[in-house]
């Protein structure tokens, strides 16, 4: 057996990369891979970042919707103004004869419309149409008396009385005198003479006015939307911070309880080992001495050789029982692991396995004592239990004659390997069927989970077995 000391050259201490064909018995969880719980700051940043993405999407969608609503509200405002002018000013001034007399319409309506145009600066044109498409009145005299085809919307507004608004098509001949005014919004609705003759009242507004009103409304919507989202983000950040702090405290509490449970388990094992050593073992030692003494006396007297042989057999059986109990005590509470550390405990395990019985296997040790110093106490316990069970299985079940026990480095983390030349088994069948029927592998897997590392086994019938435990990343 040989140990590799710190600084010793050679590649024996480097564990090769994991090949294919391994049966994985245990893997570290997400928290074990990190080595410690996520910090509250990181968790809060993730929550806030996710919330910010959602907020941006909501904000963009909300602003687009609010802009559309604001534009509709601005158009609605212009339409309402047109309704007010039609009902409050134009329709009361209409007479029955105006439906056929452009001159009378001009004489009565022109002063009124000029006054309206002066009071509403954003309005640039007024037209009154007959149902046949003749312009009965306009503040642009050159249009009066001309006939143009009414579009479908205008006819529909007359058939089903309603107020409608559209972007002015300045390419149409009836709109040629408005082309210098820029983009316009035309609003039209029916009005009636006293005898019920329908006429189409049409106003033209500068679209800039609509845009300005839309922008004002949109800024109001945007301010409310963005401020609400900002408050929501602040609340989410504060809530996430509080939840993370509580989670961290709960995790710390859980770790403290686990530590106390492990300490209690360790103390209980130590108490049981001490009780057995100071009680039953000492009593059996005394019994073996008495039986051996009585056997020597009987043999010396020569009177009863059969009795002497029986007493010697009893003494031998008691000594075997003492050896078994002492081995069990080491299994329950290996003193060298808790006093001298993992390398010493592994050497004791190898000595016991190779020399404890008369025909034990040869065990080669390759232990990086420097690397072992960085192994946490919980993982030292796991490594020792895995090595203990692996050696026991190799000797008792696999009939191994040679073992290698290695503690080295893999990807910057401590790793333990136990290889034997025993009978081996089919790991592919193990992967398919699980380890429920393999008590030793179940014990090793449980130890690996308690240690928080990765455990795998590689074997084939007649080719021996390789067991590897890799500590969690530091």
Are residues 179 and 69 part of one domain?
yes
Q: Cα 196 vs. chain centroid, distance in angstroms?
A: 71
**CB 158 within 8 Å of CB 184:** no
Of 214, 230, 262, which closes a domain?
214
Of 322, 328, 327, give the one whose Cα is nearest residue 282. Answer: 322
User: Is residue 236 domain-resident?
Assistant: no
CATH of the domain at 184: 3.30.450.20
Classify residue 90 by its DSSP letter: I
Residue 34: what pLDDT? 40
Q: Which residues contact 415 (CB under 8 A, 6 or more apart)?
A: 15, 407, 408, 409, 468, 469, 470, 471
Which value, in Å, is the radius of gyration of the alpha carbons in the chain? 49
How far, in Å, are 83, 135, 204, 361, 457 from residue 129 at the CA level? Answer: 16, 5, 14, 115, 95
Classify residue 160 by its DSSP letter: T
How far apart (Å, rounded) are the C-alpha atoms in residues 436 and 446? 12
Are residues 210 and 65 part of one domain?
yes
List the structure tokens of 222.
């945007």
Are residues 5 and 143 part of one domain?
no
Are residues 472 and 358 part of one domain?
yes
Residue 189: what pLDDT? 93
E-strand spans in 174-224? 184-192, 198-206
Q: Which residues contact 374 (CB under 8 A, 6 or more apart)?
A: 414, 474
SS3 375: coil
Mean pLDDT per 10-residue segment, the chain (474 residues): 38 46 74 48 68 72 68 79 88 88 87 84 88 92 92 89 89 91 90 92 84 68 73 75 78 74 66 71 79 78 75 80 67 61 79 67 82 74 85 83 86 85 78 62 82 85 88 71
Residue 265: what pLDDT? 63
Q: Is 111 exposed, middle or buried (0-12, 13-18, 19+ CB in 10 A)?
A: exposed
How far apart (Å, rounded) are the C-alpha atoms in residues 150 and 132? 8
User: Is residue 324 domain-resident?
Assistant: no
CATH of the domain at 408: 3.30.565.10
Q: Cα 396 vs. chain centroid, distance in angstroms?
A: 46
User: Is residue 248 domain-resident?
Assistant: no
Of 107, 105, 112, give the one whose Cα is nearest residue 145. Answer: 105
How far apart (Å, rounded) are the C-alpha atoms in residues 195 and 95? 8
Are residues 102 and 9 part of one domain?
no
User: Is residue 20 domain-resident?
Assistant: yes
Q: Is 186 exposed, middle or buried (0-12, 13-18, 19+ CB in 10 A)?
A: buried
Scanning 19-39, the segments in alpha helix (DSSP H) are 30-34
User: Is residue 308 domain-resident?
Assistant: no
Residue 194: what pLDDT? 92
Are residues 420 and 470 part of one domain?
yes
User: Is residue 74 domain-resident?
Assistant: yes
**CB 198 within 8 Å of CB 192:** yes
How far apart (Å, rounded) are the C-alpha atoms in residues 194 and 91? 9
pTM to 2 decimal places: 0.43
List the structure tokens of 319.
């000594």
Are residues 65 and 31 part of one domain?
no
Q: Quick one: CA dihedral 338, 339, 340, 346, positive or negative? A: negative
Of 214, 239, 258, which closes a domain?
214
Are residues 165 and 21 part of one domain?
no
User: Is residue 121 domain-resident?
Assistant: yes
**CB 146 within 8 Å of CB 172:** no
Q: Cα 433 vs. chain centroid, distance in angstroms?
A: 32
Q: List the helix and strand counts (H, then E) for the chain.
A: 14, 11
Q: How many domains does the chain have?
A: 2
**CB 456 within 8 Å of CB 25:** yes
Are residues 80 and 133 part of one domain?
yes
Of 186, 214, 242, which closes a domain?
214
User: Is residue 235 domain-resident?
Assistant: no
- Look up the domain containing 176 and give its range: 61-214
Are residues 386 and 464 part of one domain?
yes
How far apart (Å, rounded) are the C-alpha atoms in residues 41 and 103? 81
List the structure tokens of 449.
């989970």
Are residues 119 and 12 part of one domain?
no
How far apart (Å, rounded) are the C-alpha atoms in residues 257 and 380? 20
Q: Cα 373 vs. chain centroid, distance in angstroms?
A: 34
Are residues 23 and 97 part of one domain?
no
How far apart (Å, rounded) are the C-alpha atoms in residues 58 and 68? 15
């Amino acid at each position: 057996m040989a140990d590799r000391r710190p600084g010793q050259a050679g590649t024996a201490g480097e564990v090769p990369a994991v090949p294919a064909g391994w049966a994985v018995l245990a893997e570290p969880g997400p928290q074990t891979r990190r080595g410690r719980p996520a910090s509250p700051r990181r968790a809060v940043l993730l929550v806030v970042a996710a919330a910010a993405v959602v907020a941006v999407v909501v904000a963009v969608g909300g602003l687009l919707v609010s802009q559309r609503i604001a534009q509709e509200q601005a158009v609605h405002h212009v339409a309402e103004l047109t309704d007010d002018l039609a009902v409050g000013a134009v329709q009361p001034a209409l007479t029955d004869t105006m439906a056929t007399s452009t001159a009378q319409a001009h004489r009565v309506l022109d002063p009124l419309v000029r006054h309206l145009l002066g009071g509403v600066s954003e309005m640039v044109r007024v037209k009154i149409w007959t149902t046949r498409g003749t312009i009965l009145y306009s503040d642009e005299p050159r249009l009066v008396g001309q006939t143009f085809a009414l579009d479908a919307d205008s006819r529909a507004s007359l058939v089903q009385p309603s107020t409608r608004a559209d972007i002015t098509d300045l390419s149409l001949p009836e709109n040629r005198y408005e082309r210098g005014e820029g983009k316009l919004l035309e609003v039209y609705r029916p009005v009636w003479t006293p005898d019920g003759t329908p006429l189409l009242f049409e106003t033209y507004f500068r679209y800039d006015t609509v845009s300005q009103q839309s922008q004002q409304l949109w800024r109001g919507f945007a301010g409310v939307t963005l401020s609400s989202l900002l408050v929501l983000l602040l609340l989410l950040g504060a809530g996430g911070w509080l939840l993370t702090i509580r989670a961290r405290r709960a995790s710390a509490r859980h770790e403290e309880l686990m530590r106390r449970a492990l300490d209690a388990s360790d103390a209980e094992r130590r108490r049981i080992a001490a009780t057995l050593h100071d009680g039953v073992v000492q009593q059996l030692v005394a019994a073996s001495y008495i039986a051996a003494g009585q056997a020597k006396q009987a043999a010396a007297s020569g009177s009863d050789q059969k009795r002497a042989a029986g007493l010697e057999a009893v003494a031998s059986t008691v000594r075997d029982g003492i050896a078994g109990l002492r081995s069990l005590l080491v299994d329950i509470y290996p003193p060298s692991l808790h006093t001298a550390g993992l390398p010493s405990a592994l050497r004791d395990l190898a000595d016991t396995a190779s020399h404890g019985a008369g025909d034990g296997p040869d065990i080669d040790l390759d232990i990086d004592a420097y690397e072992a110093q960085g192994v946490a106490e919980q993982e030292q316990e796991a490594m020792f239990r895995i090595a203990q069970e692996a050696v026991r299985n190799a000797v008792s079940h696999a009939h191994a004659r040679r073992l290698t026990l290695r503690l080295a480095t893999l990807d910057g983390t401590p790793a333990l390997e136990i290889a034997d030349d025993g009978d081996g088994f089919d790991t592919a069948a193990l992967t398919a069927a699980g380890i429920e029927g393999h008590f030793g592998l179940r014990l090793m897997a449980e130890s690996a989970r308690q240690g928080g590392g990765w455990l795998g086994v590689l074997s084939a019938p007649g080719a021996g077995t390789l067991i590897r435990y890799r500590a969690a990343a530091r």
